[in-house]
């Protein structure tokens, strides 16, 4: 993702519809030029002046899409064109924001910690200064972004129930019927909608409780197919973890509470398992 000074003088690629593999489109030569400038497409991979959108170009576009958190389908649509038309000023501003965020981070982060790269939708787990685990996550969608946050995990929750936030009750679940609640194993308690424990629970089978005042935490999910997406900014702000049960098993084993954790899981009921020491979590951009 190099910053190109020449891009500010090059005309934008027009948004006149998608470009798909096999299409012949007058915008392809300009697309190829920009992909080469950004080192996504080596020289010699496309005949000069050709308007054919080949599989090779599509694969280069897919790599660019992965780098920018766009669905990596190799189709040049509005989001991809927006990235391709970034100028040097746009990229310089993005770099400046990233450097400013980095400036505020501790130069000596905790040796044992969990870092969630929200922009890339990935989790990195460090143990005693070494990276020991990496996995995909699903994070906040545009308008409901996962916040920048530093807070520790202090307990594991087996078979969690889900108390639906009021914002969701007033939005997506406004006016839901009794049959809908029954179908989704939900009940009303004191003005709140609560989903019972179980494999269909929105939080899945484990929740990682964190000490923060904005109700943000890591958790499992009942819809694990979403981890196969390249664009995983889909939640209301919390962080869904790929193979969350496996991750919880690892933390419980390393923190010496594996027996209590397995008993809690086997109970089938919401059960809290405190960690003997809190594990710092950094939600970063």
Q: Could you list the active site residues?
A: 219, 238
Between the CA of residue 65 and those of 12, 59, 80, 230, 272, what are the distances in Å?
Answer: 18, 10, 7, 8, 40
- 10 Å Cβ neighbour count for 65? 22
CB–CB of 73/83 below 8 Å?
A: no
Tabulate helix, strand, coil % of the chain (nearest 5). Answer: 30, 25, 45
CA neighbor of 51 nearest in space, from 65, 31, 36, 35: 31
Place of tokens 């202090």: 154
DSSP code string of 195-241:
EPSSTTSTTTTEEEEE--SS---EE--S-GGGGG-S--EEESS-EEE
Helix, strand or coil, per DSSP, at residue 174: coil
């Amino acid at each position: 993702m190099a910053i190109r000074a020449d891009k500010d003088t090059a005309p934008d690629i027009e948004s006149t519809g998608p470009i798909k593999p096999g299409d012949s489109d007058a915008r392809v030569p300009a697309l190829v030029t920009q992909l080469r400038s950004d080192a996504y497409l080596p020289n010699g991979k496309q005949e000069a002046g050709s308007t054919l959108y080949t599989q090779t170009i599509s694969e280069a576009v897919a790599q660019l899409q992965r780098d920018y958190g766009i669905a990596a389908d190799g189709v040049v649509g509005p989001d991809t064109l927006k990235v391709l038309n970034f100028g040097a000023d746009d990229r310089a501003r993005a770099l400046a924001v990233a450097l400013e965020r980095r400036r505020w981070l501790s130069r000596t982060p905790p040796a044992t910690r969990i870092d969630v790269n929200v922009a890339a939708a990935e989790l990195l787990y460090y143990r005693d200064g070494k990276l020991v685990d990496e996995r995909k996550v699903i994070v906040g969608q545009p308008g409901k972004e996962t916040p920048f946050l530093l807070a520790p995990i202090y307990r594991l929750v087996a078979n969690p129930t889900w108390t639906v936030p009021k914002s969701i009750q007033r939005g997506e679940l406004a006016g839901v019927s009794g049959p809908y609640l029954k179908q989704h194993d939900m009940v009303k308690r004191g003005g709140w909608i609560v989903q019972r424990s179980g494999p269909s629970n929105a939080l899945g089978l484990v929740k990682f409780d964190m000490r923060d005042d904005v109700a943000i935490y890591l958790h499992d999910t009942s819809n694990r197919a979403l981890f196969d997406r390249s664009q995983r900014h889909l939640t209301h702000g919390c962080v869904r973890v790929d193979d969350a049960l496996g991750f919880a098993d690892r933390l419980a084993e390393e923190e010496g509470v594996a027996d209590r954790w397995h008993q809690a899981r086997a109970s089938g009921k919401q059960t809290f398992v405190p960690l003997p020491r809190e594990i710092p979590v950094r939600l970063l951009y």
